[in-house]
Amino acid sequence: MEIENEIYENALEIIAHSAFVKLSDLKEALENPTYNIFTKKKRSGGKRIIHEPLGKTFEVQNSLYYNFFVKVYAHDLIDQRCTGGVKGKSTKDNVMAHSFLAPKFIAEVDIKDAFHCVTTDALKAALYDLFQIEVYYYRFAYYMFLMSKKSVDFKLVSGYDSNSLSFERYELYLWYEEEGRRTWVTKNSEYGFAVKDLFRTNDLGYVDDFAEFSKNRSPLFPNKRNRLFRESIRDPLQFEYVSDLCECMADIVSKIVTYKGILVQGPPTSPFLMALMVSYTKLLSSFDFEGPRKYYRIGCKPRSFPDCYTREAIYVDNIGLSIDSNQNKERVRQNVEGQLRPIEQNTIWKFNHRKTKVYDLSKEEAVLTGLRLVRHRKTRQELKLMVKEKIKGARHCLRTWKPWYYLKPTIPKKTQRKIRACLHKACLDTENSNEKLQRQARGYIGYIFHIYESYAEIPLQIRSKLDEYSDKKDKFLFVKFFHKKKNENKFKK
């Protein structure tokens, strides 16, 4: 019991130091969580239950998100196809995932009670594996640093054989040799995460990035007060203790961010944890076939695969699937439904089959996460480049021509009318007496600037009101817009 209490107290201290919160606040949020529970009407009908954290509960959850969970992106443990709850991504990124593929069909699948599908126990298992992977990264970097300094043999570290200290559970890397060059590659781990290789190696196989190991701090445990924990990670005699500590930490964090045994909507950590669980359960990979993956349309498909899933993307609980198929719309829908049933049987997720939609892009326009996908003809320069690549025999153009168009996101007509009405009312309010209306108008303007890359792309229905708003309210509105887009393009380059 004394050892368990010691592990529990140490786990609380590590979490408090890593999240930059007081230990007393962390214990209060764990023992006495406070929520304001209310309902909100859905657009489609029905009610949505919101659990708004209050007081110390909100402060701890907010600190956990910004100081703890955000750093998980450093290791790319979140699936790149997850756009909801991921910092720097939005509904536009969710739609743009299907943009340049030009598929024949797009299917939209809705997860039923997505947050409630995630239980405390399931989240604890995911967080435990997350912490173990983080521990492995730090330990692996340390031993690779020793190897690069040639101060120790890989087979003997501190007098212990490598089989006894290391990596039977955490070994995610191995070599392969090609053209006389050794490269580190990943292999599948028992955790189910798609772990990306972060270590660049030279021809000898020694790591370049750890010339000064002291600067390589653990992303999840960077605080100086966690120095003893990092030292225990490197000590072969304390591997079992570190494993128990990670399990206790996962139990504490999972209880703080859940309510009555389930993940709820309202806490700032819930969208990120939803993306984490989607990545952990490999939900999007469940839609992949065993055949080679197609990132553009292929003329001859394998006979055994009537449908080809070219791209998947998810925004919180809405899954979008790009599908190439020679079958009709109803048959494609049946195939998608057939993919959902085994997922429901083998995973924690449940689907709302009534909300499953399939769009035939040859006859209709798809609407995903509030954005409409329209065909946009490629420019003459893009078509010339496409022909040039075809003549050169580029690898990705050997089998077929690329499509002459791509799908571009735009705001639906109904939302355009709503934005136009709001901007019109904001222009009539010359004295800015209605702060809520002005704030809503500025929010819509920011949304427009985020969706469209240039002024010419903005629909005429909205553009006229934007001009009027610029004349009456903000004369430098479009200067800010072009400056913002210029900086974004610089950042992308």
Which pLDDT score, from 0 to 100, does residue 41 have? 86
Predicted confidence band of residue 295 (pLDDT cuts 50, 70, 90): very low
Q: What tens digit of pLDDT does each residue of 191-242 get?
A: 222 233 333 333 323 333 333 333 445 656 766 777 778 778 777 677 788 8
Whether 361 maps to a domain, the answer reads no
Residues 6+ apart with CB under 8 A from 95: 320, 368, 369, 371, 373, 409
| DSSP 8-state symbol, 397 | G
DSSP, residue by residue, 159-201? TEEHHHHSTTTT--EEEEEETTEEEEEE---TT---PPP---B
Say whether 458 sits in a helix, a strand or coil: coil
Predicted confidence band of residue 67 (pLDDT cuts 50, 70, 90): confident
Amino acid at 358: V
Whole domain around residue 129: which residue ranges?
1-77+120-257
**Is 90 exceeded by the pLDDT of residue 175?**
no
Which pLDDT score, from 0 to 100, does residue 160 have? 31
- Helix ranges restricted to H, 281-412: 329-346, 380-392
Q: What tens digit of pLDDT does each residue of 16-41 get?
A: 988 889 999 999 999 999 999 999 88
- Provide the mean pLDDT of the chain: 73
Which pLDDT score, from 0 to 100, does residue 50 have? 93
**Is 50 exceeded by the pLDDT of residue 311?**
yes
| DSSP 8-state symbol, 351 | B
Which pLDDT score, from 0 to 100, does residue 395 have? 47
Whether 54 maps to a domain, the answer reads yes
- Of 227, 257, 287, which one is at a domain's C-terminal end? 257
Whether 103 maps to a domain, the answer reads no
**Is 60 exceeded by the pLDDT of residue 57?**
yes
Which pLDDT score, from 0 to 100, does residue 480 have? 59
Amino acid at 256: I
**Is 70 exceeded by the pLDDT of residue 364?**
yes
Q: What tens digit of pLDDT does each residue of 434-465 get?
A: 888 988 998 998 899 888 887 888 888 888 88
Whether 44 maps to a domain, the answer reads yes
Which pLDDT score, from 0 to 100, does residue 268 have? 93
Say whether 357 sits in a helix, a strand or coil: strand
Q: What tens digit of pLDDT does each residue of 265-287 get?
A: 999 999 999 988 988 888 888 87
**Is 50 exceeded by the pLDDT of residue 370?**
yes
> Between 362 and 181, where is the model more confident?
362
Shortest CA distance to 105 belongs to which of 265, 375, 324, 430?
A: 324
Our measurement of the distance from residue 356's CA atom to the centroid of its chain's CA atoms, rounded to an integer in Å, reads 22
> Between 171 and 372, where is the model more confident?
372
Which pLDDT score, from 0 to 100, does residue 140 have? 65
Q: Calculate mean pLDDT across residues 381-391.
A: 63
Whether 387 maps to a domain, the answer reads no
SS3 content of the chain, % helix, strand, coil (to 5): 50, 15, 35
- The top-scoring range by mean pLDDT among 6-15, 134-143, 147-156 is 6-15
pTM: 0.75
Q: Diameter of the chain by CA atoms?
A: 79
Whether 191 maps to a domain, the answer reads yes
Q: Calculate mean pLDDT across residues 63-75.
A: 79
Shortest CA distance to 112 belongs to which of 348, 273, 453, 401?
A: 348
Q: Calculate mean pLDDT across residues 84-95.
A: 84
Which pLDDT score, from 0 to 100, does residue 22 have? 92
- Of 239, 257, 275, which one is at a domain's C-terminal end? 257
- Of 208, 231, 257, which one is at a domain's C-terminal end? 257
Q: Calculate mean pLDDT across residues 53-62.
A: 94
Q: What is the tally of structural domains in the chain?
A: 2
Whether 85 maps to a domain, the answer reads no
407: number of Cβ within 10 Å: 24
Residues found in the chain: 493
Q: Are 269 and 115 contacting, i.e. CB atoms less than 8 angstroms apart? A: no
